[in-house]
Chain A
Amino acid sequence: MEHIELFFKSIFIDNLIFATFLGMCSYLAVSKKVATAVGLGAAVIFVLAITVPLNWLLDVYLLKDGALVWLGPEYAEYDLSFLSFIMFIATIATMVQLVEIIVEKFAPALYNSLGIFLPLIAVNCAILGGSLFMQSREIQTLGLAFNYGVSSGIGWFLAILAIAAIREKIRYSNVPAPLRGLGITFIITGLMAIGFMSFGGMLTGGDEEKTTEQIVVVEPTQQKVEITKEAIDIAKNEKEIKE
């Protein structure tokens, strides 16, 4: 159940582009044609699926507060979380390099369609952001971490596919000159983000009580995510008590 919930939550509600704006630069630069957008999106799913679980392992067994306890009880107080940034980015850069070498050797067709994007992805905010959010939301198991990586990637893929399709179509529309290209893309992405906000009520309906879901619109999005998360936890606890 948790898996399905995390899967849909990461694709639609916590969408990397529309909710947290990660990976905007390559999103804007590569979305001029659908074919290249598909290539980049697929590469992002691939890299996220590999790096998020790896970084989860790093976080749980090396970086977290008290993580080093498996080395010996005297290491229980070590908190290496300040090294997270450097460790995560090092893993990502290395994995991307490795993946590129492996794909080039064993699947040259895949390499020809993905290959040029792979080095670009190492510095894509979405990849590092996926790992950082995995850490800050305290994902509990390796399976959930893999789930989170894949579903965040799918959400990003959906977003870039949609904007590329729209951009291809509006090339023939009458956009005012100063808005042409970049300006109209921003506004369209904004409108799409508004559309995706409608998914916010998706996971809290059903036989749960109404009082558990209250999105307070005036607070910044960060807090909204935390409040909905708490609401879902409260709902889960209530369900357990009922059973």
Chain B
Amino acid sequence: MGLLSKKDVKLITDPLADNNPITVQVLGICSALAVTAALKPSIVMAIAVMFVLAIGSTIISLIRNIIPPKIRIIVQLVIAAALVIIVDQILKAFAYELSKQLSVFVGLIITNCIIMGRFEAFALANSPWRSFLDGIGNSVGFGIILIIVGFFRELLGSGSLLGYPVLGSSVEKTGVYAYGYENNGFMLLAPMALITIGIIIWVQRSRNTALIEN
């Protein structure tokens, strides 16, 4: 492992569970709740955040010594906004239906607390390679939670995954539906995302008691 020292590997693995941006650092909740009604938008959002966070962190880290402290928030916002505009245009060009589904939440990646939080807490004080790794680690941690929530919401809410009906057809009553199972449409609505994340936090803190608050 010539390129990645032990400390560097920790930068990637910590945010996956112990320092997860959503469940531990409490950042990036907004998009975690809003776009996870189906699995595909969740995956696309995770990839978009990875692009903005990894590249943005690297850029901020490269110019960290020449940013005047008084305007650093504005500089961070401008860099994040520019990268998000790129992501938005790419989405509109190659996946128009999906970009309509994500609507304003692509734009809201700019103010996604993970982006601003990691820029402020890490990229401004660390070298470019480590900032890049930190960006990757945090966005993968973010992505894991998004995919878990999206998975359950889509499976229980519309009986499909990535658009493919996996439990049988509810119209023709095949598969599980033949036994009287019905889709829980409520899972697709906003409140259930909150409760799902609450349950994920419950499970995580039961297994890792160091995270319990007093």
Residues of A within 8 A of B89 (CB): 82
Residues of B within 8 A of A189 (CB): 194
Determine the residue in chain B with the shortest Cβ distance to A97. B74
Given A25-B29, A217-B189, A222-B103, A190–B77 Cβ distance below 8 Å?
Answer: no
Given A22-B108, A25-B26, A93-B77, A178–B212 Cβ distance below 8 Å?
Answer: yes
Residues of B within 8 A of A222 (CB): 101, 103
Instruction: Give residues 23-48 of B contacting A (CB, 8 Å).
Output: 23, 26-30, 33-34, 37-38
* Inter-subunit contact A183/B198 (CB<8 Å): yes
Report the bound CA distance from A24 to B104 in whole Å.
16
User: Interface-forming stretch among A68-76, A107-115, A122-130, A228-236?
Assistant: A122-130
Given A85-B85, A86-B78, A178–B205 Cβ distance below 8 Å?
Answer: yes
Q: Mark A182-206, 1 if CB is under 8 A from B, else 0.
A: 1111110111011001000000000
Interface secondary structure of B, over-half rule: helix
* Inter-subunit contact A217/B186 (CB<8 Å): yes
Q: Mark B184-197, 1 if CB is under 8 A from A, else 0.
A: 01101111111101
* Inter-subunit contact A183/B205 (CB<8 Å): yes
* Inter-subunit contact A21/B33 (CB<8 Å): yes
Number of interface residues of B (CB under 8 A): 56
Whether B55 sits at the interface, judged by CB under 8 Å, is no
Report the bound CA distance from A3 to B11 in whole Å.
51
Instruction: Give residues 162-197 of B contacting A (CB, 8 Å).
Output: 183, 185-186, 188-195, 197
Whether A84 sits at the interface, judged by CB under 8 Å, is yes
* Inter-subunit contact B188/A128 (CB<8 Å): no
Whether B82 sits at the interface, judged by CB under 8 Å, is yes
Determine the residue in chain B with the shortest Cβ distance to A223. B101
Report the bound CA distance from A97 to B157 in whole Å.
44
Residues of A within 8 A of B26 (CB): 25, 28-29, 182
Determine the residue in chain B with the shortest Cβ distance to A191. B191
Residues of A within 8 A of B34 (CB): 20-21
Given A136-B104, A179-B201, A182-B213, A25–B113 Cβ distance below 8 Å?
Answer: yes
Report the bound CA distance from A86 to B110 in whole Å.
9
CB distance from A149 to the nearest CB of B (A): 16
Determine the residue in chain B with the shortest Cβ distance to A15. B190
Whether B98 sits at the interface, judged by CB under 8 Å, is no
Residues of A within 8 A of B85 (CB): 82-83, 85-86
Whether A219 sits at the interface, judged by CB under 8 Å, is yes
* Inter-subunit contact B185/A218 (CB<8 Å): yes
CB distance from A182 to the nearest CB of B (A): 6
- Select the residue from A28, A89, A184 with max chain B CB neighbours within 10 A: A89
Report the bound CA distance from A105 to B117 in whole Å.
29
Across the interface, A85 reaches (CB within 8 A) one of B74, B81, B103, B192, namely B81
Instruction: Give residues 152-201 of A contacting B (CB, 8 Å).
Output: 176-187, 189-191, 193-194, 197
6 contacts between A and B (CB under 8 A): A178-B202, A183-B205, A187-B194, A193-B190, A194-B191, A217-B186
Q: Interface residues, chain B, CB within 8 Å of chain A?
A: 23, 26-30, 33-34, 37-38, 73-74, 77-78, 81-82, 84-85, 88-89, 101, 103-104, 107-108, 110-113, 116, 157-158, 183, 185-186, 188-195, 197-199, 201-206, 209, 212-214
Q: Interface residues, chain A, CB within 8 Å of chain B?
A: 18-25, 28-29, 82-86, 89-90, 93, 119, 122-125, 127-129, 132-133, 136, 176-187, 189-191, 193-194, 197, 217-222
